[in-house]
Amino acid sequence: MTDVLTLGETMGAFRAAGPFRLGGAAELTVAGAESNVAIGLARLGHAVRWAGVTGVDEIGALIRRTLLAEQVDLTTRAVEAATGLILFEPRTADITRVLYYRAGSAGSQLSIEDVRRAFDAGTPRIVHVTGITCALSETALAAVTEAIHLGREAGSTVSFDVNFRAKLWSAQQAGEVIRPLLKQVDVLIASDDELPITGDHKVPEVVVKHGDKGATVGGVSVPAHEVTAVDTTGAGDAFVAGYLSGLLDGLTPADRLRRGNAVAAFAVATPGDWQGLPTRTDLDLLDLDSGS
Ligand code: CKP
Ligand code: MG
């Protein structure tokens, strides 16, 4: 049984303590928006599958090892191209400079066949995709389109996070590609500044993230937790993991937002995209009834 199927590119991630131009030590880990969501859901006890392509290299092996250790099921394939890299250069707690080395990467070879193999492993209750994958290559966009289509056919809930990345494409290009896809999407997740990209659409459930102010769905708003943020990268993905977890557990819209905010609070309090993501026991540490 699969609760959530997600797909995309996960990269080797180097994180330095300061500017890369100074050299020195950098920590090697992995990062990718969809695998961040997968890890978040797995930590909350859900059955998750991530589909993606890696290189036949040590970074590819690190990605598979990390996701397996986090109890994420995999549909992967290793190809001759290099696994992509991302460099995180923290400048302030809120601002991290991101450098991509991902053009022509193994991950960008994700294809329709990978998605079909992932569906063969079990029909997911939720299919979760993001705008990042749409921007990677023609085959990766086709993979997202296929995942949405197969999810629709199978009766899965289809969730789409805009995740606009200006380094990958323009807002206009993103809008032209994403808007047609939204016709088949059930849950649209966007930060407030991404909303113009989504244009006019009829998605029934629109979740808007307002950063440290909290989030809204329909007419319901819930404020974020007040925590000391040490690293906000991955906060959006953490919120998505919590929100989708709430959807799987049949929570009300307000409680889905609360869980999303709670998961994001843990994520920003720890350096790294996904390292601080909470288990169910961790969630009990926050008083979810306070709504703050
Ligand atoms: O929207 P978020 O800050 O939650 O996403 C961060 C991720 O996939 C990060 O892991 C990075 O690898 C990326 O977004 C990306 O491709 O930019
Ligand atoms: Mg995001």
CA of 66 to the centre of ligand 2 (A): 21
Please tell me the predicted confidence (pLDDT) of residue 289: 47
Q: Tokens 């996701």 appear where? A: 67
Does 273 sit in the ligand 1 pocket, CB within 6 Å? yes
Q: Would 178 be classed as within a structural domain?
A: yes
Q: Which residue of the set 237, 249, 282, 289 is catalytic?
A: 237
Q: Would 259 be classed as within a structural domain?
A: yes
Q: What is the pTM of this model?
A: 0.97
- Known catalytic residue at 231: no
Please tell me the predicted confidence (pLDDT) of residue 291: 44
DSSP SS3 for 55: strand
* Helix ranges restricted to H, the chain: 33-43, 58-69, 112-120, 131-134, 138-154, 171-181, 195-198, 235-248, 253-268, 280-283
Interface ipTM: 0.96
Q: Which residues of 109-142 are buried (b: 16+ CB within 10 A; e: fewer)?
A: bbbbebbeebbeeebbbbbbbbbbbbbbbeebbb
Burial category of 230 from C-beta neighbours within 10 Å (exposed 0-12, middle 13-18, buried 19 and up): middle
Q: Which of 15, 34, 36, 210 to mutate to test the pocket of ligand 1 (most atoms within 8 A of CB)?
A: 36
Q: Would 142 be classed as within a structural domain?
A: yes
CA of 191 to the centre of ligand 2 (A): 8
Please tell me the predicted confidence (pLDDT) of residue 208: 98
Q: Would 205 be classed as within a structural domain?
A: yes
Distances (CA, A) of 200 to 124, 168, 242: 28, 23, 27
What is the domain count for the chain?
1
Q: What is the mean pLDDT of each run of 10 residues along the chain (292 residues)?
A: 97 94 95 98 98 98 98 98 96 87 98 98 98 98 98 98 98 98 98 97 98 95 93 95 98 98 96 96 76 43
Please tell me the predicted confidence (pLDDT) of residue 275: 97
Q: Tokens 């994958």 appear where? A: 133
Please tell me the predicted confidence (pLDDT) of residue 290: 46
Please tell me the predicted confidence (pLDDT) of residue 292: 42
Q: Would 183 be classed as within a structural domain?
A: yes
CATH code for position 254: 3.40.1190.20
Q: Would 282 be classed as within a structural domain?
A: no
Does 32 sit in the ligand 1 pocket, CB within 6 Å? yes
Q: Would 171 be classed as within a structural domain?
A: yes
Range of the domain at 268: 2-277
Please tell me the predicted confidence (pLDDT) of residue 93: 73
Q: Would 149 be classed as within a structural domain?
A: yes
